[in-house]
Amino acid sequence: MNKAVFDEVSVLWAEHLGLPFPDDLRGVEIYGQPVAYLEYCLAGPLTSYVGSQRGVLEADQLRIVRACARDLRALLPRLRGEERRTFVARLIRIADLVLTPPRLPGRR
């Protein structure tokens, strides 16, 4: 586990959980999936990741994170409004960190 990545995910996820879902994102969809549903799908794996204290996810959880991040990434350029963009960008950043393979010691 990369402790710096784990710590950043933990902080970003805690910040995210402390924020309300933006009203102007209600009803916004990408590929037929509401943003609220994508956030909901991410919540389980991300809570498990942080709660594990080791930054570990099962293969099916990684697939969920990867799929949600892909859809949110496709949506981001279409969003207008700072609050919307910040909310979605934070979810993408967290997912990207979780999906980043750990670096081998001695490798850059």
Q: At what angle do helices 3-17 and 82-99 cross, to 10 degrees?
A: 150
For the entire predicted model, the pTM comes to 0.90
- Residue pair 5/97 in contact (Cβ under 8 Å)? The answer is yes
State the 10-residue block means of pLDDT for the chain, 108 residues long: 90 95 91 94 96 90 97 94 93 95 61
pLDDT digits 0-9 by tens, 42-63: 999 999 999 988 888 999 999 9
- Domain coordinates of the chain in residue numbers? 3-99
**Residue 2 confidence (pLDDT):** 85
H/E element holding 6? Answer: helix 3-17
Q: Which residues pair with 63 in a beta bridge?
A: none
